[in-house]
Amino acid sequence: MTSINPSERYLPGNDGQFAVKPSESSRKLQEVGADCFLLVERIKAHEAVVAMTSYQLLVRLFNEQCVVASSDSGETVTIRQNKDVPSSSLQSPSDPDAGYSGHKGKGYQMQVMETYSPDKSQPDLITHINVEAAHESDAHALLPAIDSAAARELSPTELLADSL
């Protein structure tokens, strides 16, 4: 394993920017993956640190984004292809429950059920809300919404649904 020199690799440059040229992105990702593996391996013997959420998120990030191959010459870290990274992968350490959908993007989606009346004197009311990670499928969202409304005696007489 190589040693990490954080002041050379990870402190911002003179202009305060941390940017990588597109031509260098593969090499930089490989370097960051190897450094991440080194940190995970060096720290895993320290129980107090291993119990920290920040360390657990680092391990999660590494496992979701990287693969380690062992050989006679040692261990090699490889960055996973985008198609091999799960949609439930860590999007932000400050929000570890957020997901990713190629269609919807990063974060969350919300399932909403509301009343509707063509009679403008009647209010339209939200009768169900469920917030979930962006990678969750809409396919199973309808029945929980109906059950939730029924439990509160708000069952619809007619239902229109929309799914992306």
Q: Given pLDDT bands bounded at 50, 70 and 90, which one contains residue 3?
A: low
pLDDT on residue 87? 81
Q: Which helix (H) or strand (E) holds 40?
A: helix 25-43
Per residue in 71-106, pLDDT (tens digit) is 888 889 999 998 898 888 888 888 888 877 777 777
Span 9-17, average pLDDT: 60
Strand order in the sheet with 99-101: 99-101, 105-114, 126-133
3-class SS string, 120-137: CCCCCCEEEEEEEECCCC
Domain extents in the chain: 6-85, 100-151
DSSP state for residue 72 in the 8-state scheme: T
